[in-house]
Structure 1
């Protein structure tokens, strides 16, 4: 059994302020016994893509990350950031663990149109282990592709997490469809942290949420909520997949393409 928390808060173009917010959310999640905290897309850098090539792009040894590296919290954090490294700038998910240096846990595979200039696409899916759970990682637009989540399901994940930044409007309509559908068809929990507040061009949807393997929304933070959590057991995931055997009944002709 692992406790997974989803956090939500407005961010800015000030990396130091965003790091401090992430640290505060981590402390709150730790107080609830969370093993993992998930935060939104480009949270540490600020989502606005224009100007992302300045000091809002981080490196793994950036001293501004020290408050998350050195705070001693036992709660792992997955948080979005623009990260420079071999192969170019990535729309990445950084992983912070007690006693370890930060690492790029995942780089976004499916880039939205406005992201294709500033960012290089990632190359691989990423599965990590957290407190006995197998966790698949994604970012925002990745959730729009059923094959993406289904590939994780066939890799035996218990949970898929998405760091996202959907705006109010038509994007929010898709958001409400994507995550319950990905959970149900893949037979696993889905946790999505969506951006909150405004980036100047529009208002983010928020509504960071936890969805169970039957596609039911177990928690929703609305536009202003800060933290929610769920206890995830691999046994519960296996039981749901047994009761709703979509993975087992997928015809081999289709399965070969995953």
Structure 2
């Protein structure tokens, strides 16, 4: 599978600009690319408590619809972050959009300091079946908690997609975390981070990455904008899981109700 990593700068509260950059990146994909991945909340940037009500949109709003149309026109799947407005509740959400529509939605469960007071934490993890691969989504700070990747792994994930908004000085933290999350769950991990500056004195760290199921770093971007193609060889899954399987051997499983949907989605509800 060929995947493109769209490591872009963005504008906080700059939906029109961010959408234009996303649509241009989708249009620039190679004909054989199956998936393009963008950073955390790419479409709106990071709103504040004062701006989120004006910036966040419902998932049937014009911005997500524009990305859905682009996915159909270019016959490609898109993983992209949004600021979601669900009847006055605001979420830091990542979507997997295919030519058929929204295949998977994930609301960030572990809120970073700047998310708190802006977004509501999500209450579940989820995976879906896409192109014969079971995909799970995570967002930025989530990957610093081993339980998040284990949750989507318990739901069968072969590929963990992480939309990232990680800033200095924490780039090395996420480099270590993404390798560990892939290795301990014997799954591929794709992480795409933002670059450039943000509100205040933030400087986003880049370092978008592809990690194989052995925890080997196959690609790592620098700190500049770029759109690079990586290739995932899913035969590596069987090799990584041949001699032992952590999910089978673990003595403790994460609690929570598992919901199986008719469309192939699986959800693990976080216990209250």
Per the TM superposition, whether the score is higher than 0.5 is yes
Q: Which residue of 2 aligns with 1:24?
A: 24
Contact kept, 8 Å, 2:7 with 2:226, in 1: the verdict is: yes
- In structure 1, what is the Cα distance between the partners aligned to 2:149 and 2:193? 18
2:99 maps to 1:98: yes
Instruction: Count how many residue pairs are aligned between Structure 1 and Structure 2.
Output: 252
Query: Aligned-pair RMSD on alpha carbons?
Result: 2.2
List alignment gaps of at least 5 residues for structure 2: 257-272
Higher strand share: 2
Deviation (angstroms), 1:237: 0.8
Q: Which residue of 2 aligns with 1:78?
A: 79
Deviation (angstroms), 1:239: 1.7
Deviation string, structure 1 residues 93-121 (Cα, Å, up to 9, x no partner): 13332253x57611111111231211111
List alignment gaps of at least 5 residues for structure 1: none
Deviation (angstroms), 1:217: 1.3
Q: Which residue of 2 aligns with 1:255?
A: 253
Deviation (angstroms), 1:224: 1.2
Q: Which residue of 2 aligns with 1:136?
A: 136
Contact kept, 8 Å, 1:52 with 1:82, in 2: the verdict is: no
Deviation (angstroms), 1:256: 6.0
Contact kept, 8 Å, 2:158 with 2:237, in 1: the verdict is: yes
2:147 maps to 1:117: no
Deviation string, structure 1 residues 113-154 (Cα, Å, up to 9, x no partner): 231211111111110222111011111111011121122223
Contact kept, 8 Å, 2:104 with 2:128, in 1: the verdict is: no
Moved over 6 A (4+): none
Deviation (angstroms), 1:155: 2.3
- In structure 1, what is the Cα distance between the partners aligned to 2:7 and 2:99? 21
Q: Which residue of 2 aligns with 1:224?
A: 224
Give 3-state SS (helix, strand or coil) of 1:40's partner: coil
Residues 230 and 90 (structure 1 numbering): CA distance in 2 closer, same or farther, change over 3 Å? same
- In structure 1, what is the Cα distance between the partners aligned to 2:9 and 2:232? 27
